[in-house]
């Protein structure tokens, strides 16, 4: 197996504090740090040449723009 070394970079992301806390609790149980989980996700994106899971529109259609904005704010916090 070929090993390659490369520079690491700092990635910053804005996520709701409660989501981060919940995810960190789960990762702690798995023996992983947040950066480990991000590296696993990035590796899977490379392997799949896209997201490692399906994303599709809901069966009922899409939300109106104002409803979508409210859902995003609720899910991800105000930007």
Residue 69 is predicted with a pLDDT of 84
d(CA 21, CA 16): 9
pLDDT tier at 63, thresholds 50, 70, 90: confident
Q: Which domain holds residue 29?
A: 15-50
- Of the chain, the end-to-end C-alpha distance in Å amounts to 43
In a domain, 67, yes or no: no
Which residue, chain included where needed, has tokens 């104002």? 66
25 in any annotated domain: yes
Which residue do the tokens 């990762």 mark?
27
pTM of the model: 0.63
61: in domain: no
Average pLDDT of the chain to the nearest whole number: 87
> How many separate domains does the chain show?
1
Predicted confidence band of residue 9 (pLDDT cuts 50, 70, 90): very high
pLDDT of residue 2: 59
Q: Domain for residue 22, yes or no? A: yes
Checking if the pLDDT of 4 tops 70, the result is no
Q: Which residue has the tokens 């960190």?
A: 24
SS3 18: helix
């Amino acid at each position: 197996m070929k090993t390659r070394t490369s520079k690491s970079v700092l990635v910053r992301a804005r996520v709701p504090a409660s989501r981060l806390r919940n995810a960190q609790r789960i990762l702690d149980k798995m023996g992983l740090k947040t950066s480990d989980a991000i590296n696993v996700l990035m590796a899977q994106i490379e392997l799949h040449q896209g997201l490692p899971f399906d994303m599709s529109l809901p069966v009922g259609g899409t939300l109106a723009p104002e409803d979508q904005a409210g859902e995003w704010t609720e899910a991800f916090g105000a930007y």
